[in-house]
Amino acid sequence: MFKDKKLLRFLLICTALYIVWFLLYELWLKPNGKLDFMLTHMVSSHTVSVLQLLGYPLSHEIEGVRHIVKGPEGKVLIISNACNGLILYPLFIGFILAIPGRIKAMCWMILVGSVGIYLVNIFRAVLLCLIKMKFPEYLDFNHRYTFTIIVYGFIFCLWILWINKFSHIKRRASQ
């Protein structure tokens, strides 16, 4: 069925990693809640810190599992577990692991890429707060579409970088 063994290997690795992540998250991490809480807390705290550096008098409060960015006039943004970016890391890492490369390069790419994804998510949350404060009518569109494209576009660019600069695929093709 599959003529290209590399494609079959890639698909099998991606499927296996997805199943492992799904089971790990659904059976242990999600019910436990600590990882989601910690990451959501970090995203909301860093978002508020950046906005405070920009001169906005905002604070961060926790209401149940939701983290609230508050201003003088009330809620600015709710950052829930779905917005913490947790799903992005295994997606990114799984792709890197599924494309062969040197272990050292893989580790660096996973580390640098994960930090980059985190920073892009903070940037996203900061801009969503600014949009909510200045142009609230544009919040929903930007939340659903603009920043989804930006975040996944960033991850796609990291994958392309991995393939073209660090993976064995690029080296074999150029030899």
What pLDDT, in 10s, does the model give residues 112-131?
Answer: 999 999 999 999 999 999 99
| The predicted structure's pLDDT at residue 73 | 87
| pLDDT surpasses 80 at 170 | no
| pLDDT surpasses 70 at 15 | yes
| pLDDT surpasses 80 at 173 | no
Task: Answer whether 0.85 is exceeded by the pTM.
Answer: yes
| The predicted structure's pLDDT at residue 5 | 82
Phi-psi region of 99 (alpha: psi -120 to 50; beta: other; left: phi over 0): beta
More confident residue, 62 or 9: 62
Which residue type does 3 have?
K
Is residue 40 within 8 Å of 46, Cβ to Cβ? no
Cα 88 from Cα 85, distance rounded (Å):
5
| The predicted structure's pLDDT at residue 26 | 92
Where would I find the beta strands (DSSP E) of the chain? 59-63, 66-71, 74-79
Confidence of residue 158 (pLDDT cuts 50, 70, 90): very high
- What 3-state class would DSSP assign to 80? coil
Place of tokens 């910690």: 38
